[in-house]
Structure 1
């Protein structure tokens, strides 16, 4: 790979004797592929051993591996694994969301950090995963759906729009900021082609705009986790210096082994060295920067209005309540203690208790999609199958791996019996919803997700 000449000149000046090793790692090193395991799924480690790829332990996160996951594999389709570059895993690991917290992933697509944060929360509290671009937000929602937790909300807003709805609301905010992408050079040729010498400065302006809105949504005493996948000091140490100078933030230490640290000479405030850097010539994975800051503001948090009846939502009538009670008996594992049932049009959702009023918001996923209310029944959604986590009890129908290939292609499959609505399993892996009538399983795998297995 040929590096841009201005890039070489810049980092030769910044890194001195270290520069040649850095350039060699970028030009000749090979990117490392990785993935994380969703341990909330039934018998996750056993199923990984049976159906997963060759792997070794990854360095920066729990349940993380070096190895390549195929997008059309059984475990990926069922939300058991998420393909993620190893260095990117360190950001959510630093955030270390605790059960019950309110967490925002502000620039969330395609979902690597959000799925990691969701695992940390383990179905409690609230995770808002936001993405400004609609197409990317749709991909984010699909990845969140597969991961299986009910307490995750996907929104589609610019930061300045989102901040109006969540004033001083979140315990933790993760900002994996849009950046010049220098850390992805050996992984993504487009990042090299699009780079120019003014890109870091332009990105830094945008990063400041995003962070100003993030601060408006952070509780006093909350934590801001900031990260980029670039080497540029303008977007890393300089941004953290700006934050500390403009707002009552304190840089906190990040206790991680085998990482490099921020360069104090590239910042303007004390403790810049408490930030971390991952360099391709020093650490495993691609380039990354991360910082954790404590917000020491004295302002009292503003409590957003609780979610009430909205123009798109109707209260449950008596008939719907009866249908819902029957539905719960068939699918008793749904986590109703963490959310309330709400109807938007004919779509039924389990909405997290901690979520404020949704009025005026662009929401792709207001919680767990239960299904569609139809005459005399509730038709379960694909999300219900994905929410079948370890320890769940419900109507299971076992199918073979060959039948699974038919299922994800949208075909009906034949299995003797007449069980009605069932959650299809390959071994212990829940893969979707079907309706078994007189030995034929009608296919309810979402049309937009269907694929042919090679």
Structure 2
């Protein structure tokens, strides 16, 4: 692997790491590590540990992250389809971990795909406020939407924009912003050697220019007193400390904060005035390379109290179905877009003329003048919120059959009509029962792979 690394890159790393350079080279012989993050919107960490079939080891710089063994294959377990966890490289968990989220915050994940950081930020919001998950790539937004849906997030809008184009429209709009900036990917060379060609073709300066434009746009969109995390998965100071220094010079009201999250394996920033930045090296932690900086714009503001709303109007087409659901209708309102019905949380952002991929929670669709609930809506519910439930054990063969969209025999359950299908108490999707046979309503995009 090391022989694939460009000589110029190795020279840069030797200058950066000095007496730790050999430790870095030795890290290429280490086994790759794998991580999952518990989705606390659905299950507590303590409860997940009780039911987890995997051999887990706590990731020390996270509250909800664990290393798992490669042979565990957590993406092939029904709990994955229930959205109980997200698979994520351990170092990549840190940026969202250090951003201080309060209930009711308006949050932007500026470079969000595939969704690891957005899903963490949403769990920290705890079903309050609003999160805007943005990615410039329309194709990557599709994977982002699916991960938002699997996580059961109700208060998220997925948009597809260049932040430069919306910085004035959404000026001073967000309490918290996370920018995991596009970068040369030096920190991931061990994990994915194909990134080396990209480094050779473009180098650090190419990305530094983009990163400076992005961080300026983010600062403009950040409210007074708001916090911003800037992160990359690269080592070069050109893409890290130099970008932060550029932002601090351009915006004197900015200051670097020392994150509450600290760990003995962290390295500090390399500039004397940027010591509170965090550098992750694979020879000091179990994970890949990362850079994280927590910034604040001006003086910290007192958090605003959440506004209370009345129960919203339920469209006639939904009323029979919603008689079966215990759902908080004070948090938003229903909106129909092209036969699809969404539930949208209250917010004050102006998203008109913003390219929106998903507005809030997809509740269901109108087919032949009849409402049909979505798998997305099922994943956003708790078992206790639906009147009729078929709760299967994880080792029940019917779980996999359901995830493969097969018809099920459920004569051991006394129910008719719509039912919520769960695995060990956690929703997967809907079905409709007639005479002991379940018509499978699990959607194609979620099915067992």
Instruction: Answer yes or no: same fold by TM over 0.5.
Output: yes
Moved more, 425-434 or 107-116: 425-434
Question: Which residues of structure 2 form unaligned runs of 5+?
Answer: 301-311
1:44 to 1:211, Cα distance in 2 relative to 1, 3 A: closer
CA distance in structure 2 between the partners assigned to 1:328 and 1:224 by the alignment = 39
Q: State the Cα distance separating 1:385 from its structure 2 match.
A: 1.1
Distance 1:163 1:436 in 2: 50
- Give the secondary-structure state (helix, strand or coil) at the position aligned to 1:284: coil
1:197 shift after superposition: 8.1
Q: Give the aligned length.
A: 426
Cα distance in structure 2, aligned partners of 1:111 and 1:350: 20
Pair 45,75 (structure 1): closer, same or farther in 2 beyond 3 Å = farther
Q: Encode CA deviations 1:352-398: one digit per residue, 9 max, x unaligned.
A: 10153433222222111111134564211111211123764532112
**Unmatched tracts of structure 1, length 5 or more:** 265-269, 299-315
Match of 2:309 in 1: none
CA contact (8 A) 2:383 2:422 kept: no
* Equivalent-residue separation in structure 2 for 1:130 and 1:88 (angstroms): 17
**Selected match of 2:336 from 343, 362, 381:** 343
What is the aligned partner in structure 1 of residue 307 from structure 2? none
How far 1:147 sits from its partner (Å)? 0.7
Q: For each residue in 1:37-77, what CA deviation from the matched residue of structure 2 results, as whole angstroms up to 9, or x when unmatched?
A: 11332577545543531111111211211115532321111
Partners of 1:390 and 1:285 lie apart in 2 by 35
Q: What are the within-5 Å matches in structure 2 for residues 109-120 of structure 1?
A: 109-120=113-124
- TM-aligned CA deviation for residue 257 of structure 1: 2.1
Find the counterpart in structure 2 of residue 257 from structure 1. 263
Q: Which residue of 1 aligns with 2:306?
A: none
Does residue 420 of the first structure (1) align with residue 417 of the second (2)?
Answer: yes
Q: Deviations over 1:145-179 (max 9, x none)?
A: 01112111111111123334422100011000010
CA distance in 2, matches of 1:449, 1:198: 36
Deviation at 1:80, TM superposition (A): 0.2
In the alignment, the residues of structure 2 paired with residue 153 and residue 415 of structure 1 have an alpha-carbon distance, to the nearest angstrom, of: 37
Q: SS at the partner of 2:336?
A: strand
Partner of 2:304: none
**Aligned residues: CA RMSD:** 2.2
Checking the alignment, whether the CA contact within 8 Å between 1:47 and 1:429 is kept in structure 2 is no
Looking at structure 1, the residues matched to 167 and 32 of structure 2 have their Cα atoms a distance apart, in angstroms, of 36
8 Å CA contact 2:325–2:385 kept in 1: the answer is no
Closer, same or farther: CA 43–85 of 1 in aligned 2, 3 Å:
closer
* Residue 191 in structure 1 maps to residue 195 in structure 2: yes
In 2: Cα distance, 1:173 partner to 1:250 partner: 15
Match of 2:434 among 414, 430, 437: 437
- What is aligned with 2:207? 203
Q: Does residue 60 of structure 1 match 2:54?
A: no
- The worse-fitting range, judged by mean Cα deviation, of 355-364 and 205-214 is 355-364
Q: Does 1:329 align with 2:329?
A: no
Distance 2:201 2:356 in 1: 37
1:92 aligns with 2:96: yes
Task: Please list the CA deviations of residues 6-37 of structure 1 after superposition, one character each: whole Å capped at 9, or x if unmatched.
Answer: 11111212322221112211x21222111111
Once the two structures are superposed, residues 160-201 of structure 1 have per-residue CA deviations (whole angstroms, 9 ceiling, x without a partner) of 233344221000110000101011111111122332285111
Q: Could you say what secondary structure the match of 1:132 adopts?
A: coil
Partner residue, 1:149: 153
Corresponding residue for residue 245 of structure 2: 241
The aligned residue for residue 313 of structure 1 is none
Partner SS, residue 196 of structure 1: helix
Does residue 32 in structure 1 map to residue 33 in structure 2?
yes
